[in-house]
C-alpha cells in the first residue's frame, strides 16, 4: 500500500447493513461530519496485555501536536473512544483541547486476540492476513472479522442515534477501523482497505444521515493542517 489517490468503490455489495433510521434536520445533514481516528504508534511490551499498551513517544507527540492545533476537529462536539489504553491516550488530550466530555465505549475495542496474546511481528501479520481473508472463521481463537465488524458497526450506530449538535470523532483501532471502513463503503471485508503503513494515526470520515464514507484514509496530521471541506485522499489500495 503506497501513498496516492484512493479510488471510490461503488460496485461491490454491502457486507454489513448499517442503520439508516434517523430524522435529522436538513441543515445538520449538510454540516455534521463523523470521523474515525486510529491511535498512533505504541510501545511494544510483549509481557503486557496488548489492551493495556501505551502510546510510544512518537505516538504521544503526534497526539500532542493535533491537540494543540485541532484544525478540522474544531467543530467536534463529541469524542467517543474505545476503552483500550492506547485509544484513551489518543482521545483524552483531544477531548480536553476541544472542551468536550470524553465518552468511553468498551465495545469499540480492537478485534479480540486474547487467545494468542502478543505475537512477533511476522507471525502477527500472517495471522492478521488470515483474519481478513476468512472473515467468517476464527483464526487461532481470534474473534472473527464478521463478528468484529458487526460489533463496531452496532456501536457506531448506537452512538449516532438522534440529533447531533456538531461533528463527532470516534477514536479506536486499525483492525476494527478497517472493518468499519469496508461496511460504510459497501465492500466486502478485505485487508487491502486498511489504514496503510506507518503505525496508525489515520482517519476517514463519513456522513451522518446516509452512513456513506466520504474519502479514504488520511494521516492525523491532515486534520491539523487542512481546511474543512478541502481534505484529500492519500492511500491508493
Q: Which residues 6+ apart lie within 8 Å of 183 measured at CB?
A: 14, 15, 16, 18, 149, 153
C-beta of residue 176 within 8 angstroms of C-beta of residue 152? yes
Instruction: Give the model's pLDDT for residue 96.
Output: 98
Tens digit of each residue's pLDDT, the chain (237 residues): 322 322 222 233 334 444 433 444 444 445 799 999 999 999 999 999 999 999 999 999 999 999 999 999 999 999 999 999 999 999 999 999 999 999 999 999 999 999 999 999 999 999 999 999 999 999 999 999 999 999 999 999 999 999 999 999 999 999 999 999 999 999 999 999 999 878 999 999 999 989 999 999 999 999 998 654 444 444 444
Q: What is the pLDDT of residue 68?
A: 97
CATH topology of domain 2-14+31-236: Rossmann fold (3.40.50)
What are the tens digits of pLDDT across the range 192-211? Answer: 999 987 899 999 999 998 99
Whole-prediction pTM value?
0.84
Whether the Cβ atoms of residue 186 and residue 12 lie closer than 8 Å to each other: yes
Centroid of chain to Cα 200: 10
pLDDT in tens, 79-120: 999 999 999 999 999 999 999 999 999 999 999 999 999 999
Helix axes of 57-68 and 85-98: crossing angle, nearest 10 degrees:
20
Q: What is the pLDDT of residue 225?
A: 85
Rounded CA separation 157/128 (Å): 26
Which pLDDT value is given to residue 226? 66
Whether residue 200 contacts residue 39, with contact meaning beta carbons closer than 8 Å, is answered with yes
Would you state the pLDDT for residue 27?
42
Please report, for the chain, the start and end positions of each structural domain, with discontinuous segments joined by +.
2-14+31-236
Amino acid at each position: 500500500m503506497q501513498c496516492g489517490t484512493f479510488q471510490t468503490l461503488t460496485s461491490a455489495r454491502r457486507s454489513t447493513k448499517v442503520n439508516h433510521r434517523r430524522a435529522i434536520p436538513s441543515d445538520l445533514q449538510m454540516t455534521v461530519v463523523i470521523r474515525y481516528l486510529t491511535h498512533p504508534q505504541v510501545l511494544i511490551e510483549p509481557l503486557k496485555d496488548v489492551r493495556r499498551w501505551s502510546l510510544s513517544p512518537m505516538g504521544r507527540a503526534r497526539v500532542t501536536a493535533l491537540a494543540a492545533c485541532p484544525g478540522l476537529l474544531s467543530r467536534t462536539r463529541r469524542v467517543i473512544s474505545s476503552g483500550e489504553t492506547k485509544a484513551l491516550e489518543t482521545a483524552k488530550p483531544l477531548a480536553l483541547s476541544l472542551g468536550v466530555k470524553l465518552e468511553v465505549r468498551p465495545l469499540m475495542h480492537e478485534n479480540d486476540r486474547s487467545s494468542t496474546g502478543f505475537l512477533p511481528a511476522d507471525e502477527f501479520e500472517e495471522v492478521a492476513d488470515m483474519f481478513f481473508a476468512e472473515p467468517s472463521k476464527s483464526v487461532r481463537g481470534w474473534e472473527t472479522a464478521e463478528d468484529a465488524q458487526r460489533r463496531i458497526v452496532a456501536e457506531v450506530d448506537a452512538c449516532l442515534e438522534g440529533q447531533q449538535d456538531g461533528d463527532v470523532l470516534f477514536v479506536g483501532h486499525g483492525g476494527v477501523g478497517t472493518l468499519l471502513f469496508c461496511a460504510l463503503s459497501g465492500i466486502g471485508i478485505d485487508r487491502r482497505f486498511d489504514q496503510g503503513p506507518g503505525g496508525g494515526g489515520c482517519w476517514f470520515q463519513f456522513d451522518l444521515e446516509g452512513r456513506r464514507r466520504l474519502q479514504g484514509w488520511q494521516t492525523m496530521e491532515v486534520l491539523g493542517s487542512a481546511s474543512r471541506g478541502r481534505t484529500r485522499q492519500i492511500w491508493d489500495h
